[in-house]
Amino acid sequence: MDKVFIEGLEVDTLIGAYDWERNIRQCLRLDLTFGWDISAPAAEDDLSKALDYAKVAASIDAFAQAARFELVETFAERLAAALMSEFGIAWLRLKVTKPGANPAASGVGVEIERGCR
């Protein structure tokens, strides 16, 4: 299976379970890997057949701007479902890191895989 990836994408969103978090936007760092057959776009050098990184990133940013979740887990599940539906992605891996959530760690978060390889 071919894979397309976006690493270190940072988005600001409203996320957190504590009262003080409900009034500020916080940064999440996303690492995404998508199962995507690159043979057709590569053969024809045709962006319309590729998974367009710019469109995916814009969709993720719009999702993050509108999101209002307490849990990183909920953010990850809903974003994965939205991307798979919007772009016809059969499989993805998504790592969501919340930097600064624990002072003893550089980040905390979740990593999920959804779909069929």
Exactly one of 49, 55, 95, 98 is catalytic; which is it? 98
User: Does 1.20.1090.10 match the CATH number of domain 3-115?
Assistant: no
Per-residue pLDDT of 22-72, as tens digits, reads: 899 999 999 999 999 999 999 999 999 999 999 999 999 999 999 999 999
The domain locations on the chain are 3-115
What is the predicted pLDDT for the residue at 19? 92
Per-residue pLDDT of 78-108, as tens digits, reads: 999 999 999 999 999 999 999 988 889 999 9
Name 32's bridge partners. 6, 94
3 in active site: no
Higher model confidence: residue 102 or residue 4? 4
> For residues 103 and 17, what is the distance between their CA atoms, to the nearest angstrom?
17
pLDDT-based confidence at residue 8 (cuts at 50, 70, 90): very high
